[in-house]
Amino acid sequence: MSSSNDSIKKTLTVALLLCIVCSVIVSGAAVALKSQQAANKDLDRKTNILAAAGLLEPGKDVDELFSQIQARVIDLNTGEYTDAVNAESYDQLKAAKDPAMSKALSNSEDIAGIKRREQFATVYLVENAGKLERIILPVRGYGLWSTLHGFLALEADANTVIGLGFYQHAETPGLGGEVDNPKWKALWPGKKVFAEGSMNPELHVIKGAVDPAASGAEYKVDGLSGATLTSRGVSNLVQYWVGSEGFGPYLSKIRKEGV
């Protein structure tokens, strides 16, 4: 009987030790995976910022290319730079869900369909010899099926578009998903956000194709065929984020004073 009990105890001990070892291995793997996922997310963010700004070069190291970009935080309420949060660690999307760091938008304000807007936002600047060359702004807004997340890049005049690109959405492939089509994205560079002497956003996506000879063509982008609601969503999110509720106050200061 004693021998049988000893055998059971040994079996339980071995099983317990095996469980502990497996638990340690799984925990270690989870930590390593989480770290790798964070690194991949950061790499993807940098890649998309570079792409929107027209600075992504195939075959070049992304971190090296990104070294020319400076991240700064602004207060969206004032358009002023702030040190209230750290630009490197600040999570803008997380802040948008926090009532203490964001505000609820009324229906009339919320043309982008984001419900809440954070107080602080990160902007990305490219300078050369102390002179501003490019401004990259994070933008988001609702399309047909999803919230589109992306970056809008402007020249130093805070008015001329360099590029617009989305890194996350769930729009219909072949329709709204054509926001990722290089041909459609190529329509944005050179477009103007504001009319001369105005800070009211003029840039928008139309239904159909733009007549380049028509008046105001510089403020219009071709709509996506068969994707009216996604086109409208892109138009609304761009107008929201360059408008008074978004980066408008900041862009106004850039146009008047520089960086």
The Cα 74–Cα 244 span in angstroms is 14
* pLDDT given for residue 43 in this prediction: 87
pLDDT, position 4: 62
Are 156 and 133 in contact, with CB atoms under 8 Å apart? yes
d(CA 75, CA 60): 33
Most distant CA atoms of the chain, gap in Å: 99
Where do we find the tokens 């609304």? 236
pLDDT in tens, the chain (259 residues): 556 666 777 777 777 778 787 777 776 666 656 667 777 888 899 999 999 999 999 999 999 999 999 999 999 999 999 999 999 999 999 999 999 999 999 999 999 999 999 999 999 999 988 899 999 999 999 999 999 999 999 999 999 999 999 999 999 999 999 999 999 999 999 999 999 888 999 999 999 999 999 999 999 999 999 999 999 999 999 999 999 999 999 999 999 886 5
d(CA 35, CA 249) in angstroms, rounded, equals 37
Name residue 200's amino acid: N
In contact, 247 and 241? CB cutoff 8 Å = yes
Helix ranges (DSSP H) in the chain:
2-52, 62-66, 92-96, 182-185, 228-242, 248-257
CA 79 to chain centre: 18
Instruction: Answer yes or no: are the C-beta atoms of 62 and 43 closer than 8 Å.
Output: yes
pLDDT at 189: 98
Q: 83 CB contacts (<8 Å, ≥6 apart)? A: 73
Rg over CA atoms, the chain: 24
**Measured between alpha carbons, how far is residue 209 from residues 155, 179, 239, 255 in Å?**
25, 15, 19, 30
Per the CB < 8 A criterion, the answer to whether 229 and 136 are in contact is: no
What pTM did the predictor assign?
Answer: 0.85
Residue with tokens 């007549």: 211
User: What are the tens digits of pLDDT across the range 29-69?
Assistant: 666 566 677 778 888 999 999 999 999 999 999 999 999 99
